[in-house]
A and B are shown apart, each in its own frame.
Chain A
């Protein structure tokens, strides 16, 4: 089943290259993938005891690299996110003027990379699949991007390329840290080894730092974030949706999957650093977001900022925080994809995303305004949306770490500041909404936008799909939490 999921986009890409109708094929494969993901979710039994839907092929005996796929709750949720966003991204793709085939192929490759990474149980393929998306992203931004696409494409590619090599070093060190004979890239075996204390503490510190930097670059952890706003601002909407919504979660997924369970002491050791950096994301980047004067840049920055919350959940390393982080990954993926999709549609109609040039679009595009409003609410974490449930868990999880009567310690201060970040995000999101949809329309530009109709019915469906997803999770977070239950061991409950 996972094999199918991983290879469906690749197969579709190949078919498109061979000449089958691009959009149709892509849409069909995405829809089937989504259906299969739902099926997998349905078939998944949230019982303790590891991964399900296993399949494995040996690639290198001497290195013990296997192509093995498997999923537990966390991966299933990420797969669901990937499938949903892919479907919507493909659906949302406007008519492409140049090289339509290539566009869909790139899109499918990005998705395949994400899906593959989430479904892999072998660190080698876990890493490799993520990189599969690198070049398609480069092409997507470079060929079909807008604004300063050239600089954006270079920056994101080189930044992520270098970042992932740092990550690779971390993974190799991890591989090497295990005594000879037990060395493996298999996640499950490594977990067993780590559980038995097979990885020495100094090695853990080293590896965790490398993984943190490597994953951090991929997730745009402060101060390695400066690729993200520009890239997302320039990328075509479907690419931004997939990248910001799904692919970027890879780094966080990696931290949840690898760094914490395998290197608990390392995580403990670097805790303060992580907190400082994530506050950089929340406060510093949050403020920088306020200063943005264009929607695309603002969304790019906001997606960087929100990573801070997920990091906070991860850093808290207890059951509440981790569950929160996992749900927040899903929630943020959906909401940011929705925002980028709508921003892309607005750009297509108005040819600008500069706040001062926009205004009063709510009258012209009521549906877009409505949907954007919901996405805004989701992004700033209002109840009813998945983001809220997740953020609440993150805050509760983080606040509890090391709490005592003496006053506020590291995590309490961090939580308080992160809470302030919620205010910041309300400020910039509402300012943006106010500038774009509310207020009197700009007379001079209004005339040009007469030809700016609301979203067509076709385009409304993916929007509704995404909104429905975030609402359902927001109303019933248990739907995800029950799936997640076996992922985070109960032993974490004892964590401070």
Chain B
């Protein structure tokens, strides 16, 4: 695992993540988000989580972001016209975010295992798709069923909420 790989994709992810919240144009934000997710998928891969990396690309960068773009297009959202920035709100929000990060950073600093070097896996390691799948359908059967219901409910909800109005 090369540090270069890590830092590269980290930077990619963070830069485009920042772009998401900086861009004035929603389309640009959405596209930045796609890139960000791809960077994230790469980091998953760097952690030997190939299955999740794939899912990340397929579900997030693929399906979810398409949905976002689709909606943005549907609503025909252009770049936001400049509104007066409420500096108080902006400053407050930024301050909260920064403080939160420093708290987080302090916690990580405090963490004994933070300096854990990258452990090597034994040669006889199982395939991660296999392992995750086994767990998912075996041990995690109940949550999986619940997720199924969740998706059913979401489906119904989306239908109810966006059924066309007839006048």
> Does chain A touch chain B in the assembled complex, meaning CB atoms less than 8 Å apart?
no
Interface residues of B (CB under 8 A from A): none
